[in-house]
């Protein structure tokens, strides 16, 4: 009797061992049949549950944004501070980073006006920037100090409180997306001329980022092409380490050039402005830069037109 029980136990152990070995063999064969990428995915997901295989990063750059004067008067009359951005906000917000040139200070006592060249907007109106998903603005332009140093300080404080980064205060802004550091600088070459200090600043900034975007205020107003001097400056800026140059101030879209494979947008024209007195000033160009890692995959050109006063919309042309 005892002998039969022992034999039964031994047989049971052997059967169980065979079953376990068979399962391990099947599991090994299944793993061997996976592609190399699938193996990496399986191993990574077991550890973290999240994996990123070179996701693209999208950066949108706009032209000049002026939320004062008649743009402000029209929006407040409509009781809609988001009015300037209503037809473009969805796409702006879809990018990983959206940046543009802010052509006015933000001050608490900004008067409502329909004319003049002293620009400002109210904190209420500037809420449109947040609605539109604008992440970075350049303050490096000839209107930033229209209300003096106090207006400049108010502008910076407001933007800080709303978590909108700004450049143009001799500062570098770094935004990290998908593990890549994108740097932004703002420089005004309308009021000032470029110096070796500027080029050195670009060189030093590039050391801290993977991709460096320089937003410039320069050129001649109401012209369709950059000057020969601008082309020389652009070449030196690229040689100093810039990966992209985005220009503003002429109020018309201008040429696009590639220097050492790096895009130079001499002028993106107007984006939000009240210059409805000509066709060219109602036009603008928005560009979407598509990166994988620090490599520029392509540039999508997205023209806008302000059919309604101070309100851009996509033209699809």
CB within 8 Å of 61: residues ≥ 6 apart: 98, 99, 100, 213, 215, 244, 246, 265, 268, 286, 287, 289
Q: Which residues pair with 253 in a beta bridge?
A: 268
Alpha-carbon 5 to chain mean position:
77
CB within 8 Å of 253: residues ≥ 6 apart: 63, 224, 267, 268, 269, 283, 284, 285, 303
Delimit the domains of the chain by residue range. 2-47, 56-314
Within a 13 Å sphere around the CA of 75, how many CA atoms are in the beta-carbon half?
28
Q: What percent of the chain stands above pLDDT 70?
A: 83
List the one residue out of 100, 60, 107 whose CA is nearest residue 84.
100
Q: How far apart are CA 210 and CA 230, in angstroms?
A: 25
Alpha-carbon 30 to chain mean position:
44
List the one residue out of 302, 251, 301 whose CA is nearest residue 273.
251
Angle made by CA atoms 304, 309, 313, in degrees to the nearest 5: 25
Q: How far apart are CA 103 and CA 112, in angstroms?
A: 16
Q: Sign (positive/negative) of CA torsion 120, 94, 77, 64?
A: positive
pLDDT grade, residue 8 (50/70/90)? low
Q: How far apart are CA 227 and CA 219, in angstroms?
A: 7
pLDDT grade, residue 12 (50/70/90)? low
Average of pLDDT values for 189-204?
97
Burial of 176 (0-12, 13-18, 19+ CB in 10 A): exposed
Which has the minimum average pLDDT: 37-46, 188-197, 202-211? 37-46
Q: How far apart are CA 162 and CA 175, in angstroms?
A: 16
3-state secondary structure of 111: coil
Give residue-wise pLDDT tens across range 18-30. 444 454 444 443 3
- Tokens describing residue 173: 């802004």
Q: How far apart are CA 81 and CA 76, in angstroms?
A: 6
User: Phi and psi dihedrals of 262, rounded to 5?
Assistant: -100, 130
Give residue-wise pLDDT tens across range 127-183. 999 999 999 999 999 999 999 999 999 999 999 999 999 999 999 999 999 999 999
Q: Where are the alpha helices (DSSP H) in 134-282?
A: 148-161, 196-206, 228-240
Which has the minimum average pLDDT: 32-41, 105-114, 118-127, 239-248? 32-41
Average of pLDDT values for 250-268?
97
- Tokens describing residue 252: 């018309």
pLDDT of residue 317: 63
Average of pLDDT values for 289-308?
97
Which has the minimum average pLDDT: 117-126, 282-291, 300-309? 117-126
Q: How far apart are CA 19 and CA 134, in angstroms?
A: 61
pLDDT of residue 53: 42
**CATH class assigned to 56-314:** alpha beta
């Amino acid at each position: 009797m005892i002998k039969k029980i022992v034999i039964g136990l031994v047989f049971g152990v052997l059967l169980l061992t065979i079953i376990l070995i068979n399962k391990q063999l099947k599991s090994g064969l299944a793993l061997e049949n996976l592609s190399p990428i699938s193996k990496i995915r399986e191993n990574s997901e077991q550890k973290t549950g999240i994996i990123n295989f070179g996701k693209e990063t999208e950066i949108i750059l706009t032209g000049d944004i002026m939320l004062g004067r008649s743009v402000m008067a029209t929006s407040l009359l409509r009781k809609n501070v988001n009015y300037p951005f209503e037809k473009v906000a969805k796409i702006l917000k879809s990018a990983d980073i959206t940046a543009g040139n802010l052509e006015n200070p933000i001050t608490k006592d900004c008067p409502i006006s329909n004319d003049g060249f002293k620009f400002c907007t109210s904190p209420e109106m500037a809420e449109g920037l947040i609605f539109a998903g604008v992440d970075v603005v350049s303050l490096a332009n000839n209107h930033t100090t229209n209300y003096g140093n106090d207006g400049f300080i108010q502008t910076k404080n407001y933007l800080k409180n709303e978590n909108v980064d700004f450049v143009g205060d001799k500062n570098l802004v770094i935004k990290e997306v998908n593990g890549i550091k994108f740097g932004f600088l703002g420089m005004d070459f309308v009021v000032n001329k470029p110096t070796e200090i500027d080029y050195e600043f670009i060189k030093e900034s590039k050391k801290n980022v993977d991709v460096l975007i320089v937003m410039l205020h320069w050129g001649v107003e109401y012209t369709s092409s950059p000057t020969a001097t601008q082309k020389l400056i652009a070449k030196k800026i690229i040689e100093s380490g810039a990966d992209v140059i985005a220009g503003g101030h002429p109020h018309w879209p201008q040429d696009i050039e590639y220097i050492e494979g790096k895009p130079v947008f001499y002028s993106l024209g107007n984006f939000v402005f009240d210059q409805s007195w000509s066709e060219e000033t109602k036009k603008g160009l928005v560009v979407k830069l598509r990166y994988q890692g620090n490599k520029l995959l392509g540039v999508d050109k997205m023209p806008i037109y302000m059919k309604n006063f101070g309100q851009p919309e996509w033209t699809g042309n």
